[in-house]
Structure 1
Amino acid sequence: MAGLSLSVLVVVGLVAWAVLDRQPYVAQPSRHEAARAQPAAAADALHRLERAVDRGHPAAARALAPTGDQAAARLLGGVVANARRLHVEDFTLRYVDEEGGVAPGGGWSASVAATWRFAGFDRTPAHAETTVRFVAHGPEVTIAGVGGGDHRTPLWLSGPVQVRRSPATLVLVAGPAGEADAYARRARTALTVVRRVLPRWRSGLVVEVPASAQALDRTLDADPGQYANIAAVTATVDGSTRTDAPVHVFVNPAVFGELRPQGAQVVMSHEAVHVATGAATSAMPLWLVEGFADYVALRDVDLPLRTTAGGIIRQVRRHGPPEHLPGAAEFDTTTTHLGATYESAWLACRLVARTAGQAALVRLYDDVRAGDPLGRALRADTGLTTADLTHRWRTLLSDLAS
């Protein structure tokens, strides 16, 4: 009985304390709150980087890096140096949204909408999202890196580049000075080659050379290995289909670097034709787009057909001539025998020029680019029907392979 009475008293005492005590019980907060992104502070850091670029102040950009992060400081200072040499204008950075979670140390990645253009070469700015890495230190947010993630990484924002400029060419290379000099010479030569056939082209040529094939994929926001088999590609800088979007030549150094000097020049001239004719945003038949570019690039090259058309000749010997002029499936960058496809398209355009003259080939290209159906333009400019051209082309391939 005594034990029971004591228990009742204890319970009653606890109830009375709970009723009479005016201070509510509150659980103590954890001393380790989860780190959170700070969009407003990150947007302010981006604005300060914009200002450093606009004013040409590399020290101000380096100061935006986390304390002790020399790699980030070099990157941000290099962005300002790149921008000055490339004459970057209309540069803006806008915080869009957090990507993934925030690390315990306060770091996170975010999508950032960037705009920029290279004055003197790009008529309008490029617009693209890229990834920026931030680190929070209390209320202050710093910039730890640019690129990676699921967006494109503009070459000039990804690290230091060599820049070579002439009145009509601009070359940026993530490599040594000697490589930049070589690419610049090929770009200048390409202008001369293209203007022999297209003398009215006066816009400039911009060539971007990332450090590796993997870096090219990041620059173009491409699937890994998408351009593993090609030496260069002409594309809009931001991946858009706007007809006024900036268009540059992007080089795969892993493939381009293995080419002999003459082959490397042909590739550069070929891509320059695409820039001159607006091919990057065109819906023209691919055999005409690629064949015409090779026609211009190879017109004054003194090489035997067994060299310039060796791939398609071997293909025809094994399987006979193709049934139709090459289309999208044959030009898939991951397909085998891609070189033979380009050669066959070149031979089709070369055949048009030899049948109706170079001027007729140029008119055909211009008319189809302007929207005329291929069949109607072909008959009006060359006197050939599509069936006529295909038959003569297949006969030519068979003769070459015999």
Structure 2
Amino acid sequence: MAVVVAAVLVVQRGDRHDVDPRPVDVPRASPADAASTLDALVAGIDARDATALADLATPGDAAAADVLRGIAATAGSVQLEDVSVRYVDQAGAVAEDGTWSAVAEVAWSVAGDAVPSRADVVVRFAPRGDGRLAIAGFGGGDTARLPLWLRGELSVARAPGVLVMADGPQAEADAVAVRVTRGRSVVRQVLPGWRSPVVVEVPASAADLDETLGATPGTYAGIAAVTATAGTSDTVDAPVHVFVNPQVSGGLRPAGAQVVMSHELVHVATDAVHRPVEPWLSEGFADYVALRDTRLPDRTTSGRAIAAVRAAGLPQELPGAADFDTRAQQLQARYEEAWLACRVIAERVGEQGLLSVYDDARSGRPLDEALAQAGLSQQDLVRLWRARLQRLAR
């Protein structure tokens, strides 16, 4: 980690200049040492060897050792496979104490993933004092991803076709697994052919959720859950997981938390990440399925939309993409408006008609054509939707 260089000290004495060479230790980054340490990390993960992984921490760094030891336990419980960690580049300067960070390309898969996920992850290194390089931790930077399994030992719950991993108590993982199982039944009421496995990740906080997804801090502070790729790959087969924000979902009543999970599972079942449609249709359809059998009155399920109409008047158009930004004003009202639009479609052309509209849109057909094919023009949809909002807001 250190290289000895000759520092030249020039001392002036009258007309004389004396040169005093002094050896100075200057910390430097060693990509070769980093790559070797990362290879040892992968070997320890593959072997589920907690002792070998803990030995990669700096002696005396109990926190880093606990994380590394916990990774071994998590690797076994989530069936972590296809792990590779490749040194990419140094990130920032080397500190005076010899610590430094690097970006590494990490690949991994868990039970339920058909192919590995990939993401660039910041790895923090520290000198061990014995000539080797230690791992001081993972993560850092505003938009760097940190896969949940790299946080250490996780609570894991399983059910048929379901894997839940939570950076929290076992009871939390178990409760989420129950909601997923129920949600799969809800989704199959409308999409009976769906059978794909589900992976759910529950970070410890909203801030950790942002880091898990490589998002700017605060992006998901007000979101109960989101469906997204587990890594940065945007290929058509990149694994898609549901990510839960415990700080929001934990404050919901059981029925509300169930609706949130069922909503996200609709996105999984329809492959909404890889085959996107108009946001109002995607979000409205997911809520249509999630709320379909709840038997709640429209004035309850549309409460925020009603309040928005009373405060600002009827919207002229269906919600646009910007309205569904995670930090947008009146976000919940926009979700309710989208749900109401899908309700209107189902009432006019039947549930199968709504499914046809959604499937046509997923296949790339323009939305106005998909609606027309089902027997409803987009202009009529907007008119009927506005009329419904107006009646509800009276």
Alignment TM class, shorter chain as reference: over 0.9
**Structure whose CA Rg is larger:** 1
Q: Where does residue 303 of structure 1 map in the other structure?
A: 296
Q: Where does residue 124 of structure 2 map in the other structure?
A: 133
Question: How big is each residue's C-alpha offset from its partner over 1:208-243, in whole Å with a ceiling of 9 and x where there is no partner?
Answer: 111111111111111111111111111111133322
Q: Report the residue type matching 1:131 in the other structure.
A: V
Q: Where does residue 31 of structure 1 map in the other structure?
A: 23
> Which whole-Å CA distance do the structure 2 matches of 1:283 and 1:180 have between them?
29
TM-score, normalising length: structure 1: 0.91
Q: More strand by proportion, 1 or 2? A: 2
Aligned residue pairs, count: 376
Partner secondary structure for residue 327 of structure 2: coil
What is the deviation of 1:31?
3.3
1:244-259 correspondence to structure 2 within 5 Å: 244-259=237-252
What is the deviation of 1:65?
0.8
Question: How big is each residue's C-alpha offset from its partner over 1:236-273, in whole Å with a ceiling of 9 and x where there is no partner?
Answer: 11133322111111111111111111000000000010
Q: Report the residue type matching 1:385 in the other structure.
A: S
Q: Where does residue 83 of structure 2 map in the other structure?
A: 91
What is the deviation of 1:29?
4.3
**Hey, which bits of structure 1, 4+ residues long, moved more than 3 A?**
25-31
Partner secondary structure for residue 260 of structure 2: helix
Taking only aligned residues, the RMSD between alpha carbons, in angstroms, comes to 1.5
- Asked if 1 retains the 8 angstrom alpha-carbon contact of 2:28 and 2:98, the reply is yes
2:209 counterpart of 1:216: yes
1:311-330 correspondence to structure 2 within 5 Å: 311-330=304-323
Q: Where does residue 14 of structure 1 map in the other structure?
A: none
Partner secondary structure for residue 321 of structure 2: coil
> Which whole-Å CA distance do the structure 2 matches of 1:209 and 1:31 have between them?
51
Partner secondary structure for residue 211 of structure 1: coil
Over 3 Å counting, the alpha-carbon distance change for 1:92 and 1:306 in structure 2 is: same
What is the deviation of 1:160?
2.1
Partner secondary structure for residue 329 of structure 1: helix
> Which whole-Å CA distance do the structure 1 matches of 2:20 and 2:98 have between them?
23
Question: How big is each residue's C-alpha offset from its partner over 1:57-108, in whole Å with a ceiling of 9 and x where there is no partner?
Answer: 1111111111111111111111111111111111000011111111222211
What is the deviation of 1:283?
3.4
Q: Report the residue type matching 2:121 in the other structure.
A: T
What is the deviation of 1:389?
0.7
**2:57 corresponds to which of 65, 70, 73:** 65
Moved more, 244-253 or 277-286: 277-286
2:357 counterpart of 1:364: yes
Q: Where does residue 231 of structure 1 map in the other structure?
A: 224
- Asked if 2 retains the 8 angstrom alpha-carbon contact of 1:237 and 1:246, the reply is yes
Q: More helix by proportion, 1 or 2? A: 1
> Which whole-Å CA distance do the structure 2 matches of 1:319 and 1:42 have between them?
58
- Asked if 2 retains the 8 angstrom alpha-carbon contact of 1:41 and 1:139, the reply is no
What is the deviation of 1:320?
2.2
Q: Report the residue type matching 2:158 in the other structure.
A: R
- Asked if 1 retains the 8 angstrom alpha-carbon contact of 2:69 and 2:152, the reply is no
What is the deviation of 1:27?
5.2
Partner secondary structure for residue 197 of structure 1: coil
Q: Where does residue 391 of structure 1 map in the other structure?
A: 383
Task: Identify unmatched segments of 5+ residues in structure 2.
Answer: 1-16
Q: Where does residue 185 of structure 1 map in the other structure?
A: 178
**1:347 corresponds to which of 327, 340, 344:** 340
> Which whole-Å CA distance do the structure 2 matches of 1:283 and 1:249 have between them?
16
Question: How big is each residue's C-alpha offset from its partner over 1:347-387, in whole Å with a ceiling of 9 and x where there is no partner?
Answer: 1111111111111111111111011111111111x201111
- Asked if 1 retains the 8 angstrom alpha-carbon contact of 2:157 and 2:163, the reply is yes
- Asked if 1 retains the 8 angstrom alpha-carbon contact of 2:310 and 2:393, the reply is yes
- Asked if 2 retains the 8 angstrom alpha-carbon contact of 1:147 and 1:158, the reply is no
- Same amino acid, percent of matched pairs: 52
Q: Where does residue 378 of structure 1 map in the other structure?
A: 371
**1:110 corresponds to which of 65, 78, 102:** 102
> Which whole-Å CA distance do the structure 2 matches of 1:162 and 1:69 have between them?
23
Partner secondary structure for residue 357 of structure 1: helix
2:114 counterpart of 1:123: yes
What is the deviation of 1:142?
1.1
> Which whole-Å CA distance do the structure 2 matches of 1:280 and 1:370 have between them?
13
- Asked if 1 retains the 8 angstrom alpha-carbon contact of 2:314 and 2:386, the reply is yes
Q: Where does residue 10 of structure 1 map in the other structure?
A: none
What is the deviation of 1:49?
0.9
> Which whole-Å CA distance do the structure 2 matches of 1:352 and 1:30 have between them?
81
Over 3 Å counting, the alpha-carbon distance change for 1:360 and 1:328 in structure 2 is: same
> Which whole-Å CA distance do the structure 2 matches of 1:97 and 1:311 have between them?
48
Q: Where does residue 281 of structure 2 map in the other structure?
A: 288
Question: How big is each residue's C-alpha offset from its partner over 1:17-58, in whole Å with a ceiling of 9 and x where there is no partner?
Answer: xxxxxxxx9955433321011111111111111011111111
Q: Report the residue type matching 1:306 in the other structure.
A: R
